[in-house]
Structure 1
Amino acid sequence: MSTARPTLFLLHGWAMESRIFSPWINALAGDFRCQSWDLPGHGGKPCPPQGLDWEESLLTLQGAVEALSRPVVLGWSLGGLFALALALRFPELLGGLVLIDSSPCFVQREDWPWALTSSALDAFAHELLADGRAVRRRFLALQTQGDPAARAQLAAAQRWPLPDPRCLLDGLQLLRDKDLRPQLRPLPFPVLILQGEADRIVPPAAARQLQSSLAGSRLQLLKAGHAPFLSHPEACSQALRSTFYHD
């Protein structure tokens, strides 16, 4: 990639919104033109009648990315699932891919133990119907377990408006159902995988498996939980610079 400032298109995770990236974007602004995007039902966006629909969301993302002229697409957690699917389906539209604590398959399968159990997602879905804010608190606690720096950064998110429960339920269903492993293949642009070593949602072994399936990709492990861009912003920024800039 040239030394011109690349465009960075950021996708947030489940129950979050694009402003989760705001502190980090301030640090990245000198190197990247940053644009973040809210999933349907999140960040004040209405949840459409079809909910958080996989195909509709990918088509909307296709249009947004196409308008940016081959950006680097960055996805965190559920946002990474969308980013990876976008890269696999429309590789000609991207100039790079960054996956932060994400996975091609978020739920355990017989041949994929490096994930959440289906019962854990069932519990989140059941509790969401009773008390959405309590579920988000518990999910945030899980994300930041063993990572006090990220916990402090995420504390403000507790006060944000809760995303639409219909779209939250759809997001859990996508995490349960989607398995992109059969589609994985080398991609024609730089791919960076950032992974917290203490992540309780996406184990580091899942990131290693993902790297091996995306031949030529780069994996960087960080002493962090599920949100290393909050707890270790400079290390994450430097990883982006070294991947998408060259002399």
Structure 2
Amino acid sequence: MRLPDALRPPRPAGVLRVRSDDGTLLHAEVHGPEDAPTVVLSHGWACSTLFWTPVLRALGADLRVVLYDQRGHGRSEVPRRGGYGTTALADDLCAVLRATVARGTRAVVAGHSMGGMAVMAAAERPAFRSRTAAVLLASTGSRDLVSSALVLGGPLRRPARLRAALRRSALTVPLPLGPVTPLTRAGLRRVVMAADAPADTVDLCARIVHACRPVPRARWGAVLRDLDLTGPLRRLDVPARVLAGTADRLTPPLHAHRLAEALPACEDLVLLPGIGHMTPLEAPDRVAAVLRDLVRAHLAPGAAEGAAAAPARAG
């Protein structure tokens, strides 16, 4: 299926190779005018910068948008065996912020799924705190990801322990997903998207997920299986908004409610009726609207003056 223009990535204004703390090289892109307010977007597990294409197009050309591939994803390097974990997520996000957000300026930072976990993991890092005006946590959670997932529930009525074991194995088995076929598209739609998601959006999602390398996907899956970011979440004290789809089976809305309750400076909880886990693909206009509102609230001239008056942090 040929993708429509709205789902095809625009040409970036700049491409960077960003070196993380352990030497892993990350692919990053900058879109839009250099002097515009900056939004940094962090994608989720088994995705890539392509995942943000509909949101990038919905945001228009008057913002500076930074995208990067998580390590082991897209055009970023595969790290050494021990180079996975929440510390690596935070290292990579902070490396991208240092490379793309000038000292003394700030950005709105948004993370979807594992990208949101990167935001939480970086909560106390000086490079994050000094360069972040506000955050959006989209379709993500801080703990209990396996036990809460709904992807193997329903009519099969498997025992709880068996369901949990199947979910854990699905996260951590390093098998190729194979070619994109009508069957694999249908399976992916059932797991991560709403039942009525448009066919071209499902096709883009399938292309992105199937392109993820099996070994990094499995090693990141092991990180997600054991994830607990309760402490960092409570210390993420920048202005924050939480967004989730009510039909999300991977990170059901209970996670969004937990995040909103635990965040010290949560401004809003946005629930999108009938939308699945892939909110930036399924509802890009709604996600872009929340990002634009955060920019207006926290990167407008008045907001910038207020931030300048706040105590400076090193980083």
Q: TM-score range by the shorter chain?
A: 0.7 to 0.9
Q: Distance in 1 between matches of 2:269 and 2:52?
A: 21
Size of the aligned set, in residue pairs, is 238
Q: Distance in 2 between matches of 1:225 and 1:87?
A: 26
**TM-score, normalised with respect to structure 2:** 0.67
Cα contact 1:51–1:166 (8 A) shared by 2? no
Q: Distance in 2 between matches of 1:15 and 1:78?
A: 9
Output one character per residue of 1:21-46: Cα deviation in whole Å (capped at 9) or x when no partner: 11220221345311111012211333
Q: Give the aligned partner of residue 281 of structure 2.
A: 230
Q: One-letter code of the match for 1:220?
A: V
Q: Give the aligned partner of residue 121 of structure 1.
A: 167
RMSD, matched Cα: 2.7
Output one character per residue of 1:85-136: Cα deviation in whole Å (capped at 9) or x when no partner: 113444233121111100111525xxxx64466424323146543x433798
Assess, with a 3 A threshold, how the Cα gap between structure 1 residues 183 and 8 changes in structure 2: closer, same or farther: same
Q: One-letter code of the match for 1:104?
A: S
Assess, with a 3 A threshold, how the Cα gap between structure 1 residues 125 and 228 changes in structure 2: closer, same or farther: closer
Paired residues for 1:83-162 under 5 Å:
83-89=119-125, 90-108=128-146, 114-115=148-149, 118-125=164-171, 128-129=174-175, 131-133=176-178, 138-149=187-198, 152-160=200-208, 162=211
Q: Distance in 1 between matches of 2:228 and 2:235?
A: 17
Q: One-letter code of the match for 1:98?
A: L
Q: Give the aligned partner of residue 244 of structure 1.
A: 295
Cα contact 1:107–1:118 (8 A) shared by 2? no
Q: Distance in 1 between matches of 2:169 and 2:55?
A: 31
What's the secondary structure of 2:123's corresponding residue?
helix
Deviation at 1:63, TM superposition (A): 1.9
Mind listing any 5+ residue stretches in structure 2 that lack a counterpart? Answer: 1-34, 151-162, 301-315
**TM-score, normalised with respect to structure 1:** 0.83
Mind listing any 5+ residue stretches in structure 1 that lack a counterpart? Answer: none
Deviation at 1:61, TM superposition (A): 2.2
Q: Distance in 2 between matches of 1:87 and 1:118?
A: 30
Work out the percentage of aligned pairs sharing the same amino acid.
Answer: 29
Q: Distance in 2 between matches of 1:194 and 1:107?
A: 17
Q: One-letter code of the match for 1:179?
A: D
Cα contact 1:195–1:204 (8 A) shared by 2? yes
Assess, with a 3 A threshold, how the Cα gap between structure 1 residues 126 and 101 changes in structure 2: closer, same or farther: closer
Cα contact 1:72–1:94 (8 A) shared by 2? yes
Assess, with a 3 A threshold, how the Cα gap between structure 1 residues 30 and 180 changes in structure 2: closer, same or farther: same
